[in-house]
């Protein structure tokens, strides 16, 4: 009896297994992903396309149907070829796309580069092309399936990546070899100059070559807000006229052929802040540390602090908005010695200055918002006077030692007097650390900061020479002399 039950159980499981197997096979055979049975057909998103640099991030797209694998469930691989019309694909651009891919997109920017550099197409002239998709069924010794499409493309000449200003309205005058370079904006094809312009005229060359027969952008004859591209200096040599000297912001858009000029009577921002883990602010966008605006020139802002290894950028306009107004370097990681800065809004490109561990120290940052330039200079302290080791040598004194925010001098002080400078060069070139009173004892570290030659020119008095250690922390304003 037990034997019969066992035999019936095995028979039942066998029947169930075969039923499941048959069901699985039926599903595989009818799976549209495995069994392709379409006629191969290639199409293009735009068969007559005039490429525009202003739309360089858009795409042209080739699409195709699956083709047929003759009911074999075999995979189909695809290859796309593109060539000039009537060239029999002898110099074809080829994309080997593998399986399960039924479209291929090429950005306008990349396609234009291919047209100019691979196919040698002249900009502005329509050229006929052919594309074909080749479908090959794995394991079948049949001819590949092919579908073709014809289309037309017109390439553009990319705008210049550099732009300059020349003319007696600019600081360079009509010396083209010294033409003023405009700053590339984060927006493609856009350039900005911010600085002084005099009464006079200017136009826009694309480089500083000495020949006046180079490419220029000049004023549109009917609209001063429009620019005209004059290749090789051809066309009307119309210039923009400045009738009132002052600080200006000039923005040129080569893609849309426009220019705007704004005379600045006040700084574009009344407050700016430092943000970044290299600064004392950290990544605090709600209450970062502020720059100080100059009373003599309100376009200039300064900030001084100890910078550690990390990165930073400069916030403007208002706090609390990561995609607000910023002053950022032109390239990410731009050297601290660089003087160029870009003012832009938005989150990208999010370029920052980087401070390496070897560059860490105290810096003074000076941002000129009238011409978008920046100076990031390491702060050194020097003992100046006959009471110090270098005498009255302001031209090349020896710096104090800096470590973790503290400046230190350990050595011989002479009978005499001294003060401490933040600079070297000439007497009125920078800031001084002076004692609070004249002839102040070295036992008293109380100090004030004076600027240039604007005094009071107080000094510490050393009554008798000997070994001493001077320590100054500019953040806590504590100075000790032992």
What pLDDT, in 10s, does the model give residues 138-180?
988 889 999 999 999 999 999 999 999 999 999 989 999 999 9
pLDDT tens, 40-73? 999 999 999 999 999 999 999 999 999 999 888 8
Q: What CATH architecture is 272-377?
A: Sandwich (2.60)
Instruction: Specify the length of the chain in residues.
Output: 482
Rounded to 5, what percent of the chain is helix, strand, coil?
10, 45, 45
Strands (E), 138-245: 145-154, 164-165, 180-181, 183-184, 190-197, 200-202, 204-205, 216-219, 227-230, 240-242
Q: Is 164-264 the same fold as 42-154?
A: yes
Q: Please tell me whether residue 115 adopts helix, strand or coil conformation.
A: helix
Q: What digits encode the pLDDT tens for the residues 377-400?
A: 999 999 999 999 999 999 999 899
State pLDDT tens for residues 89-109.
Answer: 999 999 999 999 999 999 999
Express each pLDDT in 261-302 by its tens digit.
999 989 999 999 999 999 999 999 999 999 999 988 999 999
- Tell me, what's the pLDDT at 5? 41
pLDDT at 346 over 60: yes
The b/e string for 443-467 (b: 16+ C-beta within 10 A; e otherwise) is: eebebeebeeeeeeebbbbbeeeee
**42-154: CATH number:** 2.60.40.10
What pLDDT, on the 0 to 100 scale, is given for residue 26? 35
**Per-residue confidence band for 234, with pLDDT thresholds at 50, 70 and 90:** low
The domain 164-264 having CATH identifier 3.40.50.300: the answer here is no
* Alpha-carbon distances of 460 from 109, 201, 386, rounded to whole Å: 66, 55, 11
The pLDDT confidence band at residue 77, using thresholds 50, 70 and 90, is very high
What does the longest C-alpha to C-alpha distance in the chain come to?
123
Residue 407: CB atoms within 10 Å: 22
For residue 359, give every residue at least 6 positions away whose Cβ sits within 8 Å of its Cβ, in sequence order, or none: 307, 309, 336
Compute the average pLDDT of residues 432-460. 95
Q: Is the entire prediction scored with pTM above 0.85?
A: no
Nearest to 132 by CA among 97, 163, 177: 97
Domain boundaries, the chain: 42-154, 164-264, 272-377, 382-481
């Amino acid at each position: 009896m037990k034997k019969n039950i066992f035999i019936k159980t095995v028979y039942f499981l066998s029947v169930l297994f075969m039923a499941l197997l048959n069901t699985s096979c039926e599903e595989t055979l009818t799976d549209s992903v495995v069994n392709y049975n379409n006629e191969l057909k290639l199409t293009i998103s735009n068969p007559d396309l005039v490429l525009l640099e202003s739309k360089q991030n858009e795409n042209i797209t080739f699409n195709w149907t699956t083709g047929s694998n003759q009911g074999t469930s075999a995979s189909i691989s695809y290859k796309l070829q593109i060539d000039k019309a009537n060239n029999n694909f002898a110099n074809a651009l080829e994309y080997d796309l593998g399986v399960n891919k039924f479209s291929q997109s090429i950005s306008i920017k990349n396609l234009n580069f291919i047209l100019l550099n691979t196919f040698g197409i002249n900009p502005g002239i329509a050229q006929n092309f052919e594309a074909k998709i080749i479908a090959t069924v794995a394991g079948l010794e049949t001819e590949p399936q092919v579908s073709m499409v014809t289309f037309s493309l017109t390439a553009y000449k990319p705008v210049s990546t550099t732009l300059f200003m020349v003319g007696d309205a600019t600081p360079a005058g009509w010396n083209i070899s010294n033409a003023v370079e405009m700053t590339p904006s984060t927006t493609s094809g856009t350039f900005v100059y911010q600085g002084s312009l005099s009464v006079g005229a200017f136009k826009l060359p694309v480089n500083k070559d000495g020949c006046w027969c180079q490419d220029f952008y000049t004023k549109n004859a009917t609209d001063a807000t429009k620019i005209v591209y004059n290749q090789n200096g051809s066309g009307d040599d119309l210039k923009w006229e400045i009738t009132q000297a002052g600080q200006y912001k000039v923005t040129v858009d080569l893609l849309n052929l426009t220019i705007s000029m704004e005379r600045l009577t006040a700084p574009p921002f009344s407050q700016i802040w430092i943000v970044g883990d290299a600064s004392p602010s950290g990544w605090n966008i709600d209450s970062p540390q502020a720059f100080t605006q100059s009373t003599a020139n309100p376009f200039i802002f300064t900030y001084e602090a100890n910078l550690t290894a990390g990165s930073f950028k400069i916030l403007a306009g208002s706090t609390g908005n990561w995609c607000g107004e910023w002053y950022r370097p032109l390239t990410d990681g731009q050297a601290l010695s660089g003087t160029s800065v870009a003012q832009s809004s938005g989150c990208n490109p999010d370029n920052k200055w980087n401070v390496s561990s070897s560059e860490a120290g105290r810096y003074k940052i000076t941002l000129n918002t009238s011409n978008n330039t920046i100076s990031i200079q390491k702060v050194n302290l020097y003992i100046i006077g006959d009471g110090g080791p270098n005498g009255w040598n302001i031209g090349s004194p020896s710096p104090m030692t800096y470590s973790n925010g503290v400046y230190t001098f350990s050595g011989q002080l002479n009978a005499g007097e001294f003060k401490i400078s933040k600079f070297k060069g000439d007497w009125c070139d920078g800031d001084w650390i002076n004692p609070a009173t004249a002839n102040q004892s070295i036992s008293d570290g109380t100090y004030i900061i004076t600027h240039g030659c604007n005094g009071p020119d107080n000094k510490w008095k050393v009554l008798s020479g000997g070994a001493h250690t001077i320590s100054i922390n500019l953040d806590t304003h504590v100075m000790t002399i032992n």
